[in-house]
Chains A and B, each alone.
Chain A
Amino acid sequence: MMEASSTHQQPALIVNDVVKRFNVASIPWWKRLRPDHQNGHSSDDQAANGSGSSLKAKRGKEIITAVDHVSFTVQPREIFGVLGPNGSGKSTLIRLLSTLLIPDEGTVTVFGLDVVKHEMQVKRLINRVSVEASFFKKLSAQENLLYGARLYGLSGKVADQKARDILKRLGLRENSYTEPMEEMSRGMQQKVAITRAFLTEPTVLLLDEPNTGLDPRSKMEVQTFVRELRDVHNATILITTHDMYEADTICDRVAIMHDGKIVAMDTPAALKQQVKRNGHEPTLEDVFMTLTGEALIEKEADAADLEPEKV
């Protein structure tokens, strides 16, 4: 499958031991002074209660480790899936790759360019589709898309033609194109969001649950499109999804995240092999259930001798 030329090519993405933490809403100091909050207060500098190793109380601030020492490499023209339960850190990982977040530890490189040091060059190579469509609600699809495309240096004329072609393939009615976005359904807006990313022909395409709200036919069309971007435009794709069937069919390799960590990474076939038990042919859903479920049990087991800081 790999071409001869790709042997001396550098990887499309290298994520090296990346950590991202967030401070989330602290308990206000006047509440912490109240006697019924003394318990929470005294847990400073200790691993917090049973809700997970990723939660630490520090001067009333809670720190969430959304991405916890994650490493992986994605080769050019690979379709790489990231699966995991809600809140496992998938979107945070994608934001780190798209220069919207700066990692606390570790490095991320896109075709050898560091996302922090060479931010502008990296930005030219990537684009992203996120769960929420994110448009100027009163502007039409056309106005939104031309704005987006011009930011990437495309001319309005070229972008307009391309946008019409892509939206036609995704099955958006012609007259919706010039209507305000707020008049569109959720799925229609998502199609425009996908078009916004495809328009700029990114070398690395980051898809964060791109198919949310799409009907089965549109879903298939997006998958065909993703493959085509890879086959025709040599794009590298990183996709997160909650649709195990989709992941199984389009991904070359899949990483499963749980609590900010990657708990497994391999081809879908190999992952299924891993959880194979007495005769029954496992699906990727079985893999997901087993790996994210087991991790939960393991963690509870060693929650007792948990140390707050690991150097």
Chain B
Amino acid sequence: MILRGIQGEMRQSYAFVARNFNLVKRYWGWEVVWMAYSIADSLAVTFIGAGVGEITGQTQIDTNFMITYLLIGTLVWRFLSSIFHNISEMIAWERWEGTIEYTFMAPVRRFNQMIGQTFFAILYSLIFTVILGVTVATFFDLDLSDADLLSALILLLVGSLSFVGIGMVASILPLLYPERGAQMTNIVQAFFLLVSGIYYPVTVLPEWLQVLSKISPATYVLEGMRAALLPETAKSDPLTYVVPLLIMGLVMLPLGIHLFQRAERYTKRTGKLKRNG
């Protein structure tokens, strides 16, 4: 009886995983375009590192270090923003397709839904980022022999939990604002890009922005990743960054679900769920 119950709940989570992979398969054209765009974008950023010597006229600059520094930034950013996108757009997407009432009517706990969405988002984003990273890396001659890849992976996975939570909070926007909500989530993303030290150390930011960078989980993922992959400059052991990330994840996930459920109730009171019919 209990076992059957658990099986049923797992099927619910799996429903979202299977559905999302089916959507990827059916919209494969978009995936190709998005991959091409991401490759071009990541290359453009990484070539800045290759050109720093020439730009500044200084010959002492460790170009390889700069390239790796920027490459870590662009790949981690692609990964985290992909997680964020996948979660935050789930509502906007279902509104667009018109399936939202059917998903909300089904006897599914938002927790189970989130498990499924998270599993998909992490798996999809990992595959995407690996393809992207391998492709971009072929353009450069990189030496990662000292890199601590295991710590890097752990940091990435723990860091993604907070972004699932943040994504859930952001997905409320399209729930509350059927027309503009989806664009508003882009502002949230731009904010993280600015304060998290993706392409520069956060210390170059004005002080009031540095305060904000302390509450962005991406800051810790990036510092940890750089400690793991560029060990010669590491200030501390990469795994020390796991602790703040775990704490943020443990706060953001339940908070995300809680706020989402409140927003869901609000839409059911005000009739904002449906658009037509």
Contacts and interface: CB of A to CB of B under 8 A. Distances in A.
Interface of A: 20, 22-23, 91-92, 95, 98-102, 104, 120, 123-124, 126-128, 130-132, 134-139, 143, 146-148, 150-156, 180, 196, 208
Contacts of B12: 150-151, 153
Most buried by B among A100, A120, A130, A155: A100
A175 to B, nearest CB: 17
Given A147-B18, A147-B19, A101 B268 contact: yes
B15 A151 contact: yes
A302 B41 CA distance: 69
B121 to A, nearest CB: 17
Given A22-B270, A135-B97, A180-B26, A151 B107 contact: yes
A62 B153 CA distance: 54
B190 to A, nearest CB: 29
Contact of B22 (A98, A124, A127, A143): A143
Contacts, number: 98
A120 B97 contact: no
A154 B102 contact: no
B104 interface: yes
A128 B18 CA distance: 23
B167 to A, nearest CB: 20
17 contacts: A20-B271, A22-B271, A95-B274, A98-B105, A101-B269, A101-B271, A132-B276, A132-B277, A134-B97, A134-B99, A136-B97, A139-B22, A139-B26, A147-B22, A148-B106, A151-B108, A153-B12
A138 B26 contact: yes
B109 interface: yes
A132 B11 contact: no
A22 B98 CA distance: 21
Interface string B11-35: 1101100110011001100000000
B102 A123 contact: no
B18 A137 contact: no
Contacts of B186: none
B106 A131 contact: no
B98 A132 contact: yes
Contacts of A127: 105
Given A134-B102, A139-B26, A180-B26, A150 B276 contact: no
Interface of B: 7-9, 11-12, 14-15, 18-19, 22-23, 26-27, 97-99, 101-109, 265, 268-271, 273-274, 276-277
A131 B273 CA distance: 16
Q: Which 4 residue pairs spanning A and B have beta carbons closest together?
A: A153-B8, A150-B15, A151-B106, A123-B107
A20 B273 CA distance: 14
B105 A91 contact: no
Contacts of B19: 136, 139, 143, 147
A100 B106 CA distance: 10
Prevailing SS type, chain B contact patch: helix
A100 B104 contact: yes
Contacts of B105: 98-100, 123, 126-128
A180 B269 CA distance: 34
Nearest to B11: A150
Contacts of A102: 265, 268-269
A100 B26 CA distance: 29
Contacts of B22: 136, 139, 143, 147
A65 to B, nearest CB: 12
A100 B11 contact: no
B195 to A, nearest CB: 35
B18 to A, nearest CB: 7
B268 A134 contact: no
A95 to B, nearest CB: 7
Given A143-B18, A148-B106, 16 more contacts: A22-B271, A100-B101, A100-B273, A101-B268, A102-B268, A127-B105, A131-B277, A134-B101, A146-B15, A147-B15, A147-B19, A150-B18, A153-B7, A153-B9, A154-B11, A156-B18
Nearest to A146: B18
A141 B251 CA distance: 39
A194 B268 CA distance: 24
A136 B101 contact: no
Contacts of B109: 120
A180 B97 CA distance: 13
Contacts of A143: 18-19, 22, 26
